Structure 1
């Protein structure tokens, strides 16, 4: 009967992923079938932690994220949880030997979001690592499954790719983060005086991250390569759209990629991976 329970838990994580992210869901569909449930489980875990921080304004979010962390570690230690999101996540953590330090860093970044932090360069790097880079490393553990040498080789590129994705999210959401949550993640950037010079410096930083991230994608195992490349192309498209807009436009509206364009990018990724191996 545990098989049925575990199946239902992975289905919950899959539903969460499809509900919250059409782009991520498209990418997962291109993974080998053996990888899909583990990646759904990781996304479901990080999505719900982020939801506590960003949405539950009428509740004690500090206590809720603390309890979520305690429940997570308990699920991993026990090897079971009555919370379907944590059940599927702990199965993946234990099967793929995901380092608990990655989980701790992620939860720490979620806690940082509950504070009014003026981000210095050091704190910005700390937040990026915990909120995005470690999520990529959790996924990399699944992609490399037991190939620790390959994991170590690809670790720097995976971090840079996660960093690029997160910085693009920050640029896309700069208005909402400031107006709804009182946050400006980029060090020394004043939202009310967000300038073209600020924007260009951030974009150059992202471009470097993208270049190093792509080098790692090309070395991924075949089962995962196309799926990660889909995410890369989607964020690259979003990056180009952001670059084409003024700093003032970014501060006034949220830039997005249409679902139709996402499907076209999916086809491009599959074609390039199959015909020329990226």
Structure 2
């Protein structure tokens, strides 16, 4: 499938093809839900999504260092080096001497789809926060972090997906969808984040329900729930549902052939939230997931929707692709 995707995207340079293959492997290994949804995009648009996800995953792994091999100072230096290399790659565009395959693919994607470079720098700012910020007093503080860690991902995706009207109309919904996905992850991964010394649930919510880190650790260590913890998680879940509602209208603003991909991600991530609720918010000692059968059913529905969208496009010959999704010609080779 990698070759087919790259052929469809017009990526012919062998070095670029290898770089995109690295990003695709990262997506397949770490983002099961996201990778499944990406398979529902037209092949020509998948490499760019793999590049965006691959870069985000790479930076996230530096910050988290789940193996514990590097100190905070070492991670800070590695992140600073990545940010410097990122700035140079975006400035120079895709080049053979770009220091890492992921950056090579990212620079090419940013160039072809004219993605605002500020979105990548905002992302790196949030990654830096993860090195020393361990909790967030209010939703306002958490949203400042999520702008760079989640909202900008949705905004980076828009030029790749394409829109049926002005991109500006879709941007608030795309940003909201990125935030909804991350809030869902925060709820699902409370226990894992606690192990890393971080709590992404706003302190203003925890304080309302008299929940502190000691109580969270007690639930994790004893594998038992607690009514105050359940109440706090329920409040965050209700807030997350409201963000999904804000995001949903944006799906209809996308290029029709991109909608099945995003709708599938929307349904599957929403399904994770529903599983958290069905489990009574018992997430501190286990990781909930959408059952394979449900994932398959949603994917099949997405495939049917994609087939219908492609058929409708064929029936309307001569109809141009949405302007936001048109790649810039002549940028598929490395200088």
- Do the two structures share a fold, i.e. TM-score over 0.5? yes
Q: Deviations over 1:104-125 (max 9, x none)?
A: 1111111111114331223201
How does 1:64-213 map onto structure 2 within 5 Å? 64-79=78-93, 80=95, 81-121=98-138, 122-144=140-162, 150-179=166-195, 181-188=196-203, 189=206, 190-191=212-213, 192=215, 195-213=229-247
**2: CA distance, partners of 1:116 / 1:76:** 27
Q: Deviations over 1:64-93 (max 9, x none)?
A: 011101101111112221311000000011
- Structure 2 residues not aligned, in runs of 5+: 1-10, 207-211, 217-227, 311-335
**2: CA distance, partners of 1:21 / 1:161:** 16
- With the length of structure 1 as denominator, give the TM-score of the two structures: 0.91
**2: CA distance, partners of 1:58 / 1:105:** 27
- With the length of structure 2 as denominator, give the TM-score of the two structures: 0.77
SS of equivalent residue, structure 1 residue 48: helix
**2: CA distance, partners of 1:267 / 1:44:** 25
- With over 3 angstroms needed to count, the CA separation of the structure-2 counterparts of 1:276 and 1:207, relative to structure 1, is farther
Q: Is the 8 A contact 1:49 1:65 kept in 2?
A: yes
**1: CA distance, partners of 2:36 / 2:69:** 33
**2: CA distance, partners of 1:17 / 1:260:** 21
**1: CA distance, partners of 2:18 / 2:26:** 12
SS of equivalent residue, structure 2 residue 54: helix
Moved more, 214-223 or 189-198: 189-198
* 4+ residue segments displaced more than 6 Å: none
Match of 2:267 among 215, 233, 248: 233
Q: Which has the higher helix share?
A: 1
Q: Is the 8 A contact 2:55 2:106 kept in 1?
A: yes
Q: Is the 8 A contact 2:34 2:265 kept in 1?
A: yes
Match of 2:62 among 43, 52, 55: 52
- Structure 1 residues not aligned, in runs of 5+: none
Q: Name the structure 2 match of 1:61.
A: 75
**2: CA distance, partners of 1:47 / 1:266:** 23
Superposed displacement of residue 275, structure 1 = 6.0
Q: Name the structure 1 match of 2:294.
A: 261
**1: CA distance, partners of 2:102 / 2:123:** 16
Superposed displacement of residue 141, structure 1 = 2.0
| Higher gyration radius (CA) | 2
Superposed displacement of residue 273, structure 1 = 5.7
